Structure 1
Amino acid sequence: MGADWIEHRRSEDGERLGWMQPVGDGFVAIDLLGRRRTEVVDWMVAEETLDGLGLVYLADPHELRLDDGSWLRVRIAEVSPHAIRVKKDDWGDMTAAQIYYSVSLPVTEDRLRPLPR
């Protein structure tokens, strides 16, 4: 998270949806994974972008690049302003070992990416 990023929360429940990064006379909407969601836009467009995006993308399966270069299917378990915690996707198997990984913000597509559909 950048030192100048401005937190944006959903008005209904106060849930953090992302940040707005000041750039010149405008702002860039940044999601909870630290990814840019707009080019430089005005404040209202940045807010509307984050409000429209919501949190649903966090529930989607993702792929994590491991140190050996292979990709592992994961689910996002926790997001903080400093890191993302993902777990190996076990398809709901309650007996499976829980394997977690930490990913620093901002996320890059060569480290964590949405699972191709």
Structure 2
Amino acid sequence: MLPAEWIPHRRPDDREHVGWIRPDGDAWVAVSLLGRELTGPVDWLEAEEALDALSLAWLADVWMLERDGAPPLRVRLVEVTPDGVVVQTDDFGAIDVPVERYDLPWPPPPTLRPRRPGDPDGRVLSH
């Protein structure tokens, strides 16, 4: 559930919602659409700048979903709202590839993470 004191932040050029700014004593903290802190306590303008710099491009990135006893799974973000996060297995842009969807809470657990070097890239078959 989204805390009532979080203030939505929209990009100035197109008014697209890119995150929230939450109070932290006399300072402010920038929070991404995934509910993850982007800054520590900073002034209001720094929080705005952090959110504007992050923008929304990261939503299209490949993410990894860690699983117990299995290698990380390549996923794409399908829906991100304070009601929950939906990811699906990466279809590599093909329309005829079956995908699996996973419903995660918001904010998502740390098992949903950005892709790192060494993670499966989806282009190399197992040996």
The alpha carbon displacement at 1:69 in A equals 4.5
The alpha carbon displacement at 1:12 in A equals 1.7
Once the two structures are superposed, the pairs formed by residues 72-83 of structure 1 within 5 Å of their partners are 72-83=73-84
The residue type equivalent to 1:114 in the other structure is: P
Q: CA RMSD in A?
A: 1.4
Q: What's the secondary structure of 2:36's corresponding residue?
A: coil
Distance 1:108 1:27 in 2: 23
Distance 1:92 1:23 in 2: 41
Of all paired residues, the percent bearing the same amino acid is 45
Judge conservation of contact 2:82–2:107 (CA < 8 Å) in 1: no
The residue type equivalent to 1:113 in the other structure is: R
The residue type equivalent to 2:59 in the other structure is: L
Q: Which residue of 2 aligns with 1:52?
A: 53
Q: Which residue of 1 aligns with 2:15?
A: 14
Once the two structures are superposed, the pairs formed by residues 1-117 of structure 1 within 5 Å of their partners are 1-66=2-67, 68-70=68-70, 71-109=72-110, 111-117=111-117
Distance 1:43 1:69 in 2: 43
Distance 1:104 1:47 in 2: 26
Name structure 2 gaps, 5 residues minimum: 118-127
Q: What TM-score comes out, normalization by structure 2 length?
A: 0.83
Distance 1:75 1:61 in 2: 5
Aligned residues: 115
The residue type equivalent to 1:23 in the other structure is: D
Q: What TM-score comes out, normalization by structure 1 length?
A: 0.89
Q: Per-residue displacement from partner, 1:42-84 (whole Å, max 9, x unpaired)?
A: 1110001000110111111011123x35321101111112221
Judge conservation of contact 2:89–2:100 (CA < 8 Å) in 1: yes
Distance 1:75 1:19 in 2: 22
Distance 2:22 2:83 in 1: 16
The residue type equivalent to 2:109 in the other structure is: T
